[in-house]
Structure 1
């Protein structure tokens, strides 16, 4: 009798626990990084796992070039077997995934991730992301020109001077394919402002000067690599004397001795810095129990004490409360060592613009591939 009467009670208790989620197993975080975001946020992800062993059991990481991301995700979605539940990407991969409708809308994102507490760069990225892309890090971006002062004693000051220099020194200037490079996207978006195009945020109808300029510039570019790292390597080896840069990819390579610490930057007249940053997003098809944990991880990533850790990668937080002064002292010291005085003039001498919207950026990258890069893109 006792056994019989206890059985329904036990069953009821187990059922109640299951319904409440108390017995939900921790998930495996399967992350793909296409934008180098782990340099900024891997510590945050590991901190979350340590603080929440009941939610995350392990962290799996893979990397891929941004242009390959949509097809990789689509193949898994079509097969109904996603082995990726969190995507870390730049504006390149994020724009393509969003344009293709491959991402979930973050539930109640305006309440869960309030815009008011963000930096100006964070707000620009947030607006671009429209609730499917949650910004993780960001800053004013670029473009800047990184140059070797021994080879370029008088760097160009205007777009025309740059074109003249590149023609006089064929093969010595380089930038990477915009669809997989922050500095490449800064060049792509930046010349619309530098050249005074009619609609800097409309690459289809307002970039007449930019498209012509980029094509003419390309006549003296030996080739376009598929990523920023190759431009840095060839610059360090002396094959290139000047390359495209943004704040992150100017400071970090010098700090890590990837390029010579005495490398200089030039900022062309009429430059408007175009915000650059990284995003987190969730592919459609991820089970709800995993979505719940990943959204919680995203909220953790936005905590000021966690965001302050992103300064280590020289791109910085999107949350306003995570100022450099709140970062650990060793990180503060390193950022201050490789910071440039020119960056203190952003917002005063140099204006700042939000990046292109998802649809516009996808269009611009595709058109660049077709009309500018064409046969000059090499791996």
Structure 2
């Protein structure tokens, strides 16, 4: 019995010692000003910056520096830093694209169960769908904001008189209106990858979770659709600008990218949203990730910040201007808790039909990290790689 019990004691002791060391390091660093470098690759900073800066009110010696980076480029940069033992990125905010790439390359700190004590009742506190999204994190990230996602179609009602209701109708519309449909490279676009992952359900593919062997109909469809698309921007922001300026008439979309650009005036308020017949929601999440290799003192602060951002008062700020609709990943954070400005934006630019669609249509997780990387690679190589800008 003693021999069987010793490893458990040793593991528990190691976790206790690690937690104690982190706490001591955090205490030491709080005695002097420290800057935490946060890199945003998915746009979540728009929802979280006020909350992150609010951390300084309770920790006046902690400052933050914010930068943005394209999801496809950041993993290589982090890996090079880790190889040189000079990691100066302390937290990454991003979606399943950057999460997947980092998991595949072993870039992220294992948050759970190593640091579970910082996040008591974590899974119980998540919304049910956000809890499912947390399963994709492989214990190496924490879901911080949640969106019901898509795939949806957003369009100019003055130009699109017969709105497609199926992928086949969308293809026919695209061929009849060449270069008027646009979407961004899936590897760096939430709406792009949601469309990519939603098609296997719409088209009845063999295995929606296997992009290599189960998406024969999807890849054939995307190659056909490619014939009437001029090019693929590197991100969703460029897509919305072209849609709003009138050079394109339709794009694939998700709830947040429908509401927020109209609230900001990038896309006209009167532009409409449509759902495919019998579609399946592919939900989306933005995660908090910690690169391996940072000093223990900074690591302790970042873990404390992550716990802070999952508290209801900070989660209420993620309703924002509808960018990642609805926003909160944890339960019991209704719109009434959000700032008045957020409440006003959702009331004015939200869609009445969303509540019905969210309640009546099935929801699924995105692809897991390995499958998603394979899907991105296949799209780049076989579909849109020659038309990227």
When normalised by structure 1's length, the TM-score is 0.91
Aligned to 2:8: none
Shift of the 340–21 alpha-carbon distance from structure 1 to 2, 3 Å rule, reads closer
Structure 2: distance between partners of 1:193 and 1:72: 35
Is the Cα–Cα contact under 8 Å of residues 35 and 278 in structure 1 kept in the other structure?
yes
Residue 26 of structure 1, CA deviation:
4.3
- Match of 1:127, SS state, is helix
Shift of the 313–201 alpha-carbon distance from structure 1 to 2, 3 Å rule, reads farther
Aligned to 1:38: 45
Is the Cα–Cα contact under 8 Å of residues 302 and 319 in structure 1 kept in the other structure?
yes
* 2:36 pairs with one of 22, 29, 34: 29
When normalised by structure 2's length, the TM-score is 0.89
Is the Cα–Cα contact under 8 Å of residues 118 and 304 in structure 2 kept in the other structure?
no
Residue 330 of structure 1, CA deviation:
2.5
Aligned to 2:256: 248
Aligned to 2:350: 339
Aligned to 2:368: 357
Is the Cα–Cα contact under 8 Å of residues 141 and 287 in structure 2 kept in the other structure?
yes
* 2:95 pairs with one of 90, 103, 106: 90
Structure 1: distance between partners of 2:321 and 2:284: 14
Aligned to 1:77: 82
Gaps of 5+ in 1: 1-17
Aligned to 1:100: 105
Residue 31 of structure 1, CA deviation:
1.1
Q: How does 1:106-117 map to 2 (within 5 A)?
A: 106-108=111-113, 112-113=118-119, 114-117=122-125
Residue 230 of structure 1, CA deviation:
0.9
Which one has a bigger Cα radius of gyration? 1
Aligned to 1:65: 70
Is the Cα–Cα contact under 8 Å of residues 190 and 273 in structure 1 kept in the other structure?
yes
Structure 2: distance between partners of 1:110 and 1:346: 35
Give the length in aligned residue pairs: 359
Is the Cα–Cα contact under 8 Å of residues 142 and 246 in structure 1 kept in the other structure?
yes
Q: How does 1:1-379 map to 2 (within 5 A)?
A: 22-24=27-29, 25-54=32-61, 56=62, 58-108=63-113, 112-113=118-119, 114-314=122-322, 315=324, 316-378=327-389
Structure 1: distance between partners of 2:319 and 2:186: 24
Is the Cα–Cα contact under 8 Å of residues 26 and 300 in structure 2 kept in the other structure?
no
Structure 1 stretch 142-151 or stretch 81-90: which is displaced more?
81-90
Residue 79 of structure 1, CA deviation:
1.4
String of CA shifts for 1:237-270, please: whole Å, max 9, x gaps: 1111001111110000000001000000111112
Is the Cα–Cα contact under 8 Å of residues 218 and 372 in structure 1 kept in the other structure?
yes
Structure 2: distance between partners of 1:20 and 1:45: 21
Gaps of 5+ in 2: 1-22
Residue 22 of structure 1, CA deviation:
4.4
Is the Cα–Cα contact under 8 Å of residues 346 and 352 in structure 1 kept in the other structure?
no
**How big is the alpha-carbon RMSD for the aligned residues of Structure 1 and Structure 2?**
1.6
Is the Cα–Cα contact under 8 Å of residues 112 and 140 in structure 2 kept in the other structure?
no
Structure 2: distance between partners of 1:321 and 1:77: 39
Structure 1: distance between partners of 2:315 and 2:77: 29
- Match of 2:293, SS state, is coil
- Match of 2:130, SS state, is helix
- Match of 1:265, SS state, is strand
Structure 2: distance between partners of 1:71 and 1:209: 32
